[in-house]
Amino acid sequence: MLKPTRLLDLALNVVLAAAVAWIGTRVAYSAFPPISVAAGASLLPVAALEAVLGFAIKAKIADDKVGDGPGEVHPINVARLAALAKASLQVGSLAAGAWLGFLLWVLPQRATVTAAASDTPGAVAGLLAGSALVAAAFWLEYCCRAPEDPPDEPATT
């Protein structure tokens, strides 16, 4: 049984990725290519797709349309979407952390390093896109939960 992702695990991902990215940026920034807003925002389409899938799966589960028949979503597909959400939570938190670490180095350098100023919008877009993926993946994970079973009625004799 899959358990909901813990916020603490994702927070640790963010901190670890931010530290590694800050060190890597400090050491090798001059070798980095320019960061475009499109590059930073590359996770936004995935976040949007997962948010839409969350609404679709939630509606199917609410309408009791989970099964093997026509117009129903197969239970294995719900499990696959839950696994996708879990993986996306990891990717989104690591990406957000990496962009955060990059920004923590770049922001103070903007006054003296011209490239740092031009890389900032792309890095902010990356941080926002990673955060959006985390939010959408949390939503999808929540929507893939099985509904609560009704309480058992006591037997009457």
Q: What's the confidence (pLDDT) of residue 146?
A: 83
3-state secondary structure of 73: strand
pLDDT value of position 147: 76
Whether residue 157 is contained in a domain is answered as no
The secondary structure of residue 153, as a DSSP letter, is P
The 10s digit of each residue's pLDDT in 14-37 is: 999 999 999 999 999 999 999 999
List Cα–Cα distances, 71 to 57, 59, 60, 101, 141, in angstroms.
12, 12, 9, 46, 22
Q: Is residue 109 part of a domain?
A: yes
User: Residue 44: inside a domain, yes or no?
Assistant: no
- Answer whether residue 47 is part of any domain: no
pLDDT of residue 149: 67
Q: Is residue 156 part of a domain?
A: no
Task: Show the domain range for 115.
Answer: 62-147
Cα–Cα distance between 93 and 124 in angstroms, integer? 14
Domain count of the fold of the chain: 1
Examine residue 98 and state whether it is found in any structural domain, yes or no. yes
Nearest to 41 by CA among 130, 134, 150: 130
Average pLDDT, the chain: 94
